[in-house]
Structure 1
């Protein structure tokens, strides 16, 4: 059966803010513009029908992707990886062309259509499964896995995939284009761009891990970290206009109500791994998450959402 309800925030991630209710897992949610938090199942948030469905490219789309996402004098290995993304997507586009060649083959058309709908959904599911142990370590305050190069590369990519896979990122990127033709081309190319941008930024995180290390911080008693439908954010971009270019990055990723990841070279976070933040800093990070959210913010309790809910408009 084809998976049509596709999540752009992993349910396995939101599980940390949820509690079991029968067979379901529920968390507290607040929609932008509302003052009333509500409880809901994790399966009902950050989800859209056929969100990851692939559409056929046109001849100039790949050339445009390279012009947008490839640096002219970029790292050769990085460009090789990104060419690999293009090769993978061209295989799936060829499937769509194959489907069109056999209009009377009902079973073949159904199977190819399922592949086009589920390709990225299944890909993200596999990625989430591979990150379970790393997330559990971070939720326990342990960052030791990041000292292993292989695990550091894999988790850096996982992290940035969570950043770019969301509805918020798709809409923000789309809004940069004005004409119907440019928007249509972006929609066709975004599945490739999403992976290429994740690869590029993950490479930066890995390459700069000595000066901007991955650290885990904790919330003090009585306070919790919230999260949202944009769970990985750049705090430097949280409080400015979405059209303002931001050159630097400080990655923030809450992994549970009590623990959060910071990747930053800022002096304020130097040597802070494993330490408890003061209440001012927790409020600041929650406000940054609220500002960066697309449509919903999430917490494990109603009270935590009421603290920031008045400004979530």
Structure 2
């Protein structure tokens, strides 16, 4: 198989929220208002935010890393374990090939360039494929056309994307790592996250797909005087029974997941009866409730169409992660 130079370019600036999605909050198809690390308000290109260098890059899989990955995989049904293995095996094989080549003194620049590209680009390319699979779906939903999800394949693609957009973010990773019991385990999770995050997203997406005929899928039209914002953790559980100051794991039926598709449109997958299946028109109280919760569950970034709106919510940014860290520090 012949590779073109572009195939070997390393994709190191990894967005954990789809940059093209964030353009829905842009007035010029490029720039958005957002909160900085120091909670200032700035305006810049969507390409400059919600990213981390080498976020999806392979990290060497030691025996300890492999044991952690397999222990988490074994919590899944057998068919998902097999899927996880199909993703993991190429990395283990490549790791063996690279080791043998270096030990034998082989100096094949193209081979090692391919290996480095595989390490940096594979998970990024998988997420890009998931994004492409839902591009037309999201555009149809913005026209209030839910019939596109009548197709089983489209619903499968949408739920796959949905699961990964929950699990692929930095805030999701950091909350999982912060909750671990000791520093060595935290280190193993962080070094393995490039793969763990992907299998978590796969599992979450499959779960949503399997319950698609039980859950309520709600399209929420926002005609109020306030836009939805979005964040670096854009899909969150907003069930009314959940208290963001309480870290207890919600009951399985306390699951109302919200995703702002645009400033004027949201999508929810609900266990509750808060909204009916199909199209719903929502109140400004609901918009403000959701915007506050998006800020609470964010790590650094909340994103909006104007500076003034973000000023109202920036004081809530990072609250959830801080609660997790403070509780862990208190217990150690």
Q: Same fold (TM over 0.5)?
A: yes
Secondary structure of the structure 1 residue equivalent to 2:61: coil
Match runs of 1:105-124 below 5 Å? 105-124=108-127
Is 1:286 equivalent to 2:288 in the alignment?
no
Greater mean alpha carbon deviation, residues 138-147 or residues 152-161: 138-147
**Separation in 2, partners of 1:88, 1:134:** 31
Greater mean alpha carbon deviation, residues 57-66 or residues 95-104: 95-104
Aligned to 2:59: 55
Cα shift readout 1:264-312 (whole Å, capped 9, x = no counterpart): 02111124x3221011111111111111111010011223223323443
Q: CA RMSD in A?
A: 2.4
Cα shift readout 1:107-150 (whole Å, capped 9, x = no counterpart): 43333222211221122122212211011112222222222222
Q: Contact (CA 8 Å) 1:85, 1:195: kept in 2 or not? A: no
Secondary structure of the structure 2 residue equivalent to 1:135: helix
Cα shift readout 1:170-228 (whole Å, capped 9, x = no counterpart): 11122233444323322343233222222222122112122213221011232111000
Q: Contact (CA 8 Å) 1:95, 1:112: kept in 2 or not? A: no
Name the CA shift for 1:98/1:178 in 2 (closer, same or farther; >3 Å). Answer: farther
Aligned to 1:18: 26
CA displacement at 1:166 relative to structure 2: 0.9
CA displacement at 1:64 relative to structure 2: 2.9
Greater mean alpha carbon deviation, residues 122-131 or residues 276-285: 122-131
Name the CA shift for 1:86/1:114 in 2 (closer, same or farther; >3 Å). Answer: closer
Aligned to 2:261: 255
Runs of 4+ in structure 1 deviating by more than 6 angstroms, as ranges, are none
Q: Contact (CA 8 Å) 2:64, 2:188: kept in 1 or not? A: no
**Separation in 2, partners of 1:99, 1:307:** 57
The one of 291, 300, 323 equivalent to 1:295 is: 300
Q: Contact (CA 8 Å) 1:229, 1:294: kept in 2 or not? A: yes
Give the number of aligned pairs.
Answer: 306
CA displacement at 1:261 relative to structure 2: 0.6
The one of 8, 16, 22 equivalent to 2:16 is: 8
Name the CA shift for 1:142/1:89 in 2 (closer, same or farther; >3 Å). Answer: farther
In the alignment, structure 2 segments of 5+ residues that lack a partner are 1-8, 319-332
TM-score, normalisation: structure 1: 0.88
Name the CA shift for 1:311/1:55 in 2 (closer, same or farther; >3 Å). Answer: closer
Name the CA shift for 1:68/1:2 in 2 (closer, same or farther; >3 Å). Answer: closer
Secondary structure of the structure 2 residue equivalent to 1:163: helix
Match runs of 1:137-216 below 5 Å? 137-216=140-219
**Separation in 2, partners of 1:96, 1:180:** 30
**Separation in 1, partners of 2:196, 2:15:** 19
CA displacement at 1:153 relative to structure 2: 1.4
Higher relative contact order (CA 8 A, sep 6+): 1
CA displacement at 1:89 relative to structure 2: 3.8
